């Protein structure tokens, strides 16, 4: 009886799995070298998101607010940022200098838009750690509000999840907000940086 049930289950699995295997084989259809090269070249060209990034190149002053505890007044500080495009307009590079938690702080970020995944991506490194912080996300229909998500491990164990909202008002003004939660705690806003182009 058990052998009969095993046989029936095996046949069912084979039948349900066959369409999946067929789809995978169809998806893996070999493309000739010329077609593949044309697809890669098209995917490598900067588009509208990259043009928006390019409008942010230049020198900026920043005003930062940090909320150390919910409901308490934020710590405020001033800073500067330099931005430029890299690799023929494909990535936005930022060097940020200011304060964080009352201490001197500097960081470097690279922002991009991946034409293949249709996602915004960012990598960030700074003087408060030795890791590379990665986030990815999507934008509003006009491309001017970008929402990114990521997480990082915490020294005491566990991890903190992040949601960043980057609002680009125009070529001279944009705001970056960070929200976070430790483990399963409720998300709270802990950072806001207002960027104003130097005149």
Mean pLDDT by 10 residues, the chain (199 residues): 38 40 53 83 89 97 93 94 98 96 95 96 96 96 96 86 96 97 88 96
Q: For position 8, what pLDDT does the model report?
A: 35
Which pLDDT value is given to residue 23?
45
Whether the CB-CB separation of 109 and 60 falls below 8 Å is answered with no
Q: Are 83 and 94 in contact (CB under 8 A)?
A: yes
Contacts of 80 (CB under 8 A, 6+ apart): 59, 60, 61, 62, 96, 97, 98
pLDDT of residue 187: 92
Alpha-carbon distance of 37 to 35, in angstroms, equals 5
Instruction: Give the angle subtended at the CA of 117 by the CAs of 148 and 53, to the nearest 5°.
Output: 55
Contact 147, 159 (CB under 8 A): no
pLDDT for the residue numbered 28: 61
**Whole-number pLDDT of residue 37:** 84
- Global pTM exceeds 0.85: no
């Amino acid at each position: 009886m058990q052998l009969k049930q095993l046989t029936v289950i095996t046949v069912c699995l084979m039948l349900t799995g066959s369409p999946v295997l067929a789809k995978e084989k169809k998806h893996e259809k070999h493309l000739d070298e010329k077609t593949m090269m044309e697809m890669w070249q098209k995917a490598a060209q900067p588009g509208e998101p990259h043009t928006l990034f390019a409008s942010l190149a230049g020198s900026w002053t920043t005003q930062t607010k940090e909320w150390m505890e919910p409901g308490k007044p934020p710590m405020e500080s001033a800073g500067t940022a330099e931005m430029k495009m890299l690799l023929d307009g494909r990535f936005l590079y930022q060097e940020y200098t200011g304060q964080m938690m009352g201490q001197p702080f500097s960081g470097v970020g690279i922002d991009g838009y991946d034409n293949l995944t249709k996602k915004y991506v960012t990598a960030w490194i700074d003087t408060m750690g030795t890791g590379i912080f990665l986030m990815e996300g999507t934008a509003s229909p006009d491309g001017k509000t970008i929402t990114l998500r990521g997480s990082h491990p915490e020294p005491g164990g566990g991890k903190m999840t992040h949601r960043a909202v980057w609002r680009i008002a125009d070529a001279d003004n944009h705001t970056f907000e960070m929200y976070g939660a430790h483990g399963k705690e409720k998300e709270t806003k802990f950072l806001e940086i207002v960027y104003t182009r130097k005149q």
